[in-house]
Amino acid sequence: MLLAGLTAPAYAVGYDNPTITLSATRLSGAVGAFGDPAVTVDLAQAGVPTGFLRLEVVSSSNPAVADVADVRQERTRDWDRKLTVRPREQGYTDLTLKVTGRGGKTATAVLSYAASARVSGAPSTRYLTGSSDASAAVDVGGGYALVADDESNVLRLYDRSRSGAPVRTWDLGPALGLKKEADIEAAARVGDTVYWTGSLGNNKDGKYKAERNTVFTTRITGSGAATEITFKADYKGLREDLVAWDTANGSRYGFAAGTAAGEAPKQIDGFNVEGLEFAPGSTTTAYLGFRAPLAPAVPGGKALLVPVTNFDQVLATGARAVFGPGVELDLGGLAVRDVRKNAQDQYLILAGSWAADDNSDPYALYQWDGIPGHAPVKRADLPTTDPGGWEAVVEVPDLTAPGARVQLVTDNGAADLYGDGTEAKDLTHPEWKKARAAWFTLG
């Protein structure tokens, strides 16, 4: 009952507007992919249990890529929603989401989605998002791996079984004193220490960049998702040590010429390191694997490894590097793109072209025992029909076991993932950048 002189309010007290918050406003996937990344949608309305709120996908800006019916929704334990997308074709689309709450109140949000094309071996393929230029990988146990990027100084920790963003990241640029990338290309683990190396070569324009002449170590504590890393030490003179050693031995490998001003690193007589692993039973001697030069630097030449016999002391004390005789391996005219061994000193060499435009050139996996003079044996040819170049071996299984499987990672930096002519490394949004990890059974 209203008192004299008072009027009823213009509106009745009702519900507040609901809110809709996305864990990421951008998402990438792939046609025909298994286990693509998801986005979590946090729904809320004051005074209303989350379970009573309704979420819909109401429109797609490009239904040919993914329509509203291609978005799958499931509830989480706290009644939020998790969305995944099953794309139809390569490209981009904006998906508009709407939440409806009590009182008919609504709110909307937009999820920008990018789909890459179907790849061979889709069931065993996963996508590591946040970076497209994966260049080296180290297993840290529990199904996780540290992955380096040759376009930054950031190390990323990924769940090897899932597609999606890294669990953790570490930017080592400040510790290294570098503002530009070290061009990290390879890594090797001894106990809790991981050794990392830059390419040591010129940039693609033939210019010397001091940042690339870097090797460094990190210390690992914990494992799996609980992995932590700390910076230990670096050395910035290995390129000069290699040139001086080769010059003193008759310039057998042409390192001085390959590092000269104006010389691109990815040519048959160039200078570019892309592999690193320790010799059998050793924690002091490490093999540097060269993408270029071949030995000799002619078509059909052999792949080159150079042993650094005091590699531990180079990093621990800054000692000048000491080298053993070069190891020349017949990889069918291919060069070293990565080399990795297991606890039994069984090696896998990822072999690929020395050339810069090698995404469609041959790749193969070779088994080796790590002993100079012993010949490697091809275990598999790798597919080259999909974007990206095979770049890293995560870990080496028991190579004597039937059906042994190995996980490899690609560098997708130069790939046009979404069919718009943009190289992945130049994409504006890191959520759309991604490398590809795939499992292969060895023959």
Residue 412 has pLDDT above 60, yes or no: yes
Residue 319 has pLDDT above 60, yes or no: yes
**85 vs 77, more confident:** 85
Residue 8 has pLDDT above 80, yes or no: no
Nearest to 236 by CA among 197, 266, 189, 269: 197
**In this structure, are residues 113 and 36 in contact, taking their beta carbons and an 8 Å threshold?**
no
Query: What amino acid occupies position 155?
Result: L
pLDDT score recorded for residue 6: 36
pLDDT score recorded for residue 283: 98
Residue 4's pLDDT band (cuts 50, 70, 90): very low
Please state which CATH class domain 19-116 belongs to.
mainly beta
Query: Taking residues 67-76, what's their average pLDDT?
Result: 95
- CB neighbour list of residue 303: distance below 8 Å, 6 or more residues apart: 289, 290, 294, 295, 328, 329, 330, 331, 334, 335, 336, 349, 351
**In this structure, are residues 303 and 334 in contact, taking their beta carbons and an 8 Å threshold?**
yes
- The rounded percent of the chain whose pLDDT value lies above 70 is 97
Residue 312 has pLDDT above 80, yes or no: yes
d(CA 338, CA 393): 7
Query: Taking residues 27-54, what's their average pLDDT?
Result: 95
- How many Cβ atoms are within 10 Å of 184's Cβ, its own excluded? 27
Strands 434-441 and 335-341, how do they pair?
unpaired
pLDDT score recorded for residue 359: 74
Q: What angle (nearest 5°) sits at the alpha carbon of residue 427, between those of residues 181 and 162?
A: 85
Query: Taking residues 221-238, what's their average pLDDT?
Result: 98
Give kind and range of the element (H or E) at residue 316.
helix 311-317
Residue 443's pLDDT band (cuts 50, 70, 90): confident
pLDDT score recorded for residue 358: 66
pLDDT score recorded for residue 3: 37
What is the layout of strands, in order, in the sheet containing 54-60? 26-30, 106-116, 91-100, 54-60
**In this structure, are residues 323 and 308 in contact, taking their beta carbons and an 8 Å threshold?**
yes
Reduced 3-state DSSP string for 134-165? EEEEEEEECCEEEEEECCCCEEEEEECCCCEC
Tokens of 334: 């291919």
pLDDT score recorded for residue 317: 97
CATH number of this structure's domain 122-441: 2.120.10
Strand partners, 288: 276, 306
Residue 332 has pLDDT above 90, yes or no: yes
Residue 1 has pLDDT above 70, yes or no: no
d(CA 322, CA 242): 9
pLDDT score recorded for residue 357: 74
Residue 308's pLDDT band (cuts 50, 70, 90): very high
- Do 19-116 and 122-441 fold alike per CATH? no
pLDDT digits (tens, 9 = 90+) for 245-275: 999 999 999 999 999 999 999 999 999 999 9
Residue 5's pLDDT band (cuts 50, 70, 90): very low
**7-25: b (≥16 Cβ within 10 Å) or e:** eeeeeeeeeeebebebebe
d(CA 84, CA 355): 38
Residue 350 has pLDDT above 50, yes or no: yes
The CA distances from residue 223 to 144, 340, 344, 407, 420, in Å, are 8, 19, 21, 19, 39
d(CA 188, CA 278): 7
pLDDT score recorded for residue 45: 96
Which contacts (CB < 8 Å, 24+ apart) does range 54-59 have?
54/99, 54/100, 54/101, 55/20, 55/81, 55/97, 55/98, 55/99, 56/97, 56/98, 56/99, 56/100, 57/83, 57/95, 57/96, 57/97, 57/98, 58/96, 58/97, 58/98, 58/108, 59/95, 59/96
Give me the numbers of helices (H) and strands (E) for the chain, helices first please.
Answer: 4, 28
pLDDT digits (tens, 9 = 90+) for 176-222: 999 999 999 999 999 999 999 999 999 999 999 999 999 999 999 99
**Average per-residue pLDDT in the chain?**
95
Residue 289 has pLDDT above 60, yes or no: yes
Query: Taking residues 52-78, what's their average pLDDT?
Result: 95
d(CA 361, CA 357): 8
Domain boundaries, the chain: 19-116, 122-441
Strands 26-30 and 106-116, how do they pair?
parallel
Tokens of 324: 């053993």
